[in-house]
Amino acid sequence: MAKKKSGKKSKHPFLTDVETLRKRARQHIEQGAVTEGYRGNRETMVKILNEALATEIVCVLRYKRHYFMASGINAQSVAGEFLQHATEEQVHADQISQRIVQLGGEPNLSPEGMLSRSHSEYVEGTTLRSMIEEDLVAERVAIDSYREMIGYAGNNDPTTRRMLEGILAMEEEHADDLVSLLEELRD
């Protein structure tokens, strides 16, 4: 009979046995949610997430600006849409900050350099149409960069990947909303 290896594998070849899992969990317990099994590069992931965080904050600010300006030019329904997007971008920013902390990093919320860390731009726009167009461009930039980030997270960090997939789905909804608003303006 072959000698049993010391508690490395269970009957299921892809599962780690309970004893090994428990032992691993006790090592480096100060790392919280990040265990030995984390296969991503934590530093790179935190850096990437901080860029996404800056992007979300810049989006919150741009949508807020557009909300107040659109309210001024008496476009209540469009203004309402801007406000809703601003609120949802803030939720994304909070989710990302929370994940950064879970990964042992620090969310960079410093206003200094925020715009250069952000993937999307802060464009004020002059007319209702130009505001919507700028927001659409920003959403499309966000959609592409989230898609790339999801590819990076892959199977190495499924928790971050799932969060990013949720955010991506909402950015796609935002882009859709903006296209509808542009179509309504055309009528």
- Identify which range of 5-13, 116-124, 133-141, 150-158 contacts Fe ion by CB under 5 A: 133-141
Report the C-alpha gap between 29 and 36 in whole angstroms. Answer: 10
89 contacts Fe ion (rule: CB under 5 A): yes
One character per residue 137-166, x = contact with Fe ion (rule: CB under 5 A): --x---------------------------
Alpha-carbon separation of residue 170 from 52, 91, 147 (angstroms): 14, 11, 12
Report the C-alpha gap between 122 and 67 in whole angstroms. Answer: 14
Nearest by Cα to 132 from 142, 143, 123: 123
Q: What is the chain's alpha carbon radius of gyration, rounded to the nearest angstrom?
A: 22
* Residue closer to Fe ion (CB basis): 19 or 134: 134
- Identify which range of 8-16, 81-89, 108-116, 153-161 contacts Fe ion by CB under 5 A: 81-89
135 contacts Fe ion (rule: CB under 5 A): no
Binding residues for Fe ion, per CB under 5 A?
56, 89, 92, 139, 171, 174
